[in-house]
Amino acid sequence: MVKNTKIVSSSTVFEAGLAIKNGRIVGLAKEPNLPKAEKTIDACGCLTLPGVIDVHVHFREPGLTHKEDFLSGSMAAVAGGVTTVADMPNTNPPTLDPESLKVKVEKARGKSYVNIGFIGGVVRGNLDKLFLLGEAGVLGFKMFMVETLGLPLDDDCMVEAFRLVGETGKPLLVHAEDFQLIQDSTRKVREAGKKDFLAWVESRPSFAEAKAIDKVNLFSQKTGCKTHVCHVSSKAGVKTLKDAKKENSLLTCETCPHYLLLDVENVDKSSFICKITPPIRFRSDRETLWRGLLDGTIDMVASDHSPHTKKEKLCENVWEAASGFVGVETMVPLMLTQVNLGRLSLNHYVKVSSENPAKLLGFYPRKGLIQVGSDADLTIVDLKKEDKIRAERLHSKSRVTPFDGWMVKGIPVYTVVKGNVVMEKGEIVGEPKGEILLVG
C-alpha cells in the first residue's frame, strides 16, 4: 500500500492512497478506506507518478557486457525512477531473428530489476524474418538509416520494410539521418583536418536529420506503418515533424534530456564526453526542441542510454571517441528539475514520460496510468528534494556523463515495479523481478 500521497496523471493531481495486489493496483482511496497491507510506503510530502517508461536504452547484452549488462543497466534504471525500458537491437549478436531474441530474453531473465522489452532490428538481410520476430514478442522494430547495423537499406528495401512492419501492427522506430549527406559532410570535415568536438557537429548537419524525417514520413504514409522518430536533435527536425504530423497520425517522435539541456555553447568541448549521435547542437536547436515538446510536436522524452567505457570515450580526437553516454539514471531528476523551474508542468511531464511511451509500445492503460487494474509500476518523487549528480555514484558500469556535478531538484525516492519496491531512498532493494515484456 502507498499512503499519504498525491497521484499525478497527465490531466489531474489528486490525494489518495493505493492498494496493490499481485502486481496490480486494486484500490484507490484515502487510507481509512484501503485494505490492510503487509508493506506500506508512507509517501508523505511526495507525489506518485505512473512508472516512467524509457523507450530507448542500450543495455549492451549480449556481447558488449564490458560496457553494460541487464543487471547493471536495470539497477541504473530503477535507481533513476524508471520502471520499464525498451532495449535496442544493436548488440552482438544483434536482435534480427527469433533465435537472437531468445538469447537476449534468456540472458535478461532473473537479472532485471526493471520491466524490459526488446526491439528487433531491420537490416537488408532479415526482411523475411520480421513477421516471425513480431510473433516472437518484440515490442517493435528499429531501422538505422546510418551504418550502425551495416549499410543502411536503399529506398526500395526501406519501403518494403515499412510495409512488412506495418503488417505486424507494431511500431517502427527509426534513427533518422540521411546516410549520403552525412558521408559527404564527414569526408569534407576530415579532409580539412578537423578533429575537435565541433567537427563532429559539423559532420552530421541538421538538414540530414530533416531530410531523413521527410523520407520516413513519406514511407509511413505510403505503407500505413506506425512510425516513431528517435532522438530528434534539431530545429530543422522539429519543423519537419510539425508539418508531417499535420497529415500523418501514424507518426510519433522523441527527444532526450541532453538535447533539451545541452548545446555547443554550454558543454565542455575539451573532451569528447558529450559526443553522441545525432550530435548536441546549438542554442536555437535546444530552444526549438523545448517548444516542440510543449506544443505536442515531440511526444515523449527518452534517454538513449548508450554506455561506453572511459577508455572508449576519452580519446585524443573526436573520430576515435565512441559516440554515446549513460542517461537512464539521470533522466528523471533532470526533467523534474525543469518542472521545478517552470519549463513544463508536472502533468505534461507525466504525459511525455509515462502515458505517451506506454501508448507507443501498446501498453496503455495497463501502464502509463494509475487506475484500478493497471500494473503497479510507480515512480514516487520528492519535488523538493535536492541533490548533485555524481558520476561515481551511478549504477551503470559506465560512469561517463556530461551531467556530472549538475544540481537537480526533484528526486525519485521510491521505484515500484509490478508491486515490488526495488529502490528506496536511493538504495536498490529486493530482488531483480522485473517482467520480461513479450508481445506476440
pLDDT score of 312 more than 90: yes
Distances (CA, A) of 278 to 74, 207, 337, 362: 24, 12, 24, 27
DSSP state of 127: G
Tell me the HSE value of 91 on the side-chain side, using a 13 A CA sphere: 30
Q: What's the whole-number mean pLDDT along residues 301-328?
A: 96
Question: Which bin fits 145, alpha (ψ -120 to 50), beta or left (φ > 0)?
Answer: alpha
CA distance 350 to 231: 19
Q: Does the pLDDT at position 36 exceed 90?
A: no
pLDDT given for residue 274 in this prediction = 96
Q: How far is CA 407 from the centre of its chain?
A: 22
The percentage of residues in the chain with a pLDDT greater than 70, rounded to a whole number, is 100
pLDDT level of residue 97 (50, 70, 90 thresholds): very high
**201-246 pLDDT, tens digit each:** 999 999 999 999 999 999 999 999 999 999 999 999 999 999 999 9
Secondary structure (3-state) at 93: coil
**DSSP secondary structure code for residue 353 in this structure:** I
* Best CA proximity match to 196, nearest among 272, 259, 282: 272
Asked if residue 179 has pLDDT above 90, the reply is: yes
Q: 35: pLDDT confidence band, cut at 50, 70 and 90?
A: confident
Closest to 201 measured CA to CA, from 90, 257, 283: 283
**Cell numbers 559526443 label which residue?**
275
Q: 106 with 70: CB under 8 angstroms?
A: no
pLDDT tens digits for range 250-290: 999 999 999 999 999 999 888 899 999 999 999 999 999 99
Strand order in the sheet with 41-50: 24-29, 13-21, 2-8, 41-50, 378-388, 407-417, 420-424, 427-428
Cα within 13 Å of Cα(68), Cβ side: 30
Q: Kindly state the average pLDDT of the residues 154-176.
A: 98
**Confidence check: pLDDT of 405 > 90:** yes
pLDDT of residue 33: 85
Whole-model pTM? 0.98
For residue 38, what pLDDT is reported? Answer: 87
Report the alpha-carbon distance of residue 374 to residue 115 in Å, rounded. Answer: 14
Q: Which residues contact 203 (CB under 8 A, 6 or more apart)?
A: 182, 185, 186, 189, 190
What distance in Å separates the CA atoms of residue 286 and residue 439, rounded to the nearest whole number?
Answer: 35
Q: Given this model, what pLDDT does residue 342 score?
A: 98
Whole-number Å distance between alpha carbons of 19 and 40: 9
pLDDT at 151 over 90: no
What is the per-residue pLDDT for 88?
A: 98
- Average pLDDT, integer, range 144-167: 95
Kindly report, residue by residue over 99-121, the tens digit of the pLDDT. 999 999 999 999 999 999 999 99
Mean pLDDT of 343-353: 98
- 37 has a pLDDT exceeding 90: no
DSSP state of 280: P
Instruction: Check pLDDT > 90 for residue 322.
Output: yes
Q: Which pairing describes strands 82-87 and 115-122: parallel, antiparallel, or unpaired?
A: parallel
- Judged on CB neighbours under 10 Å (0-12, 13-18, 19+), 282 is middle
**What's residue 387's pLDDT?**
98
Which pLDDT belongs to residue 440? 84
CA distance 389 to 403: 7
> Are the CB atoms for 368 and 358 separated by under 8 Å?
yes
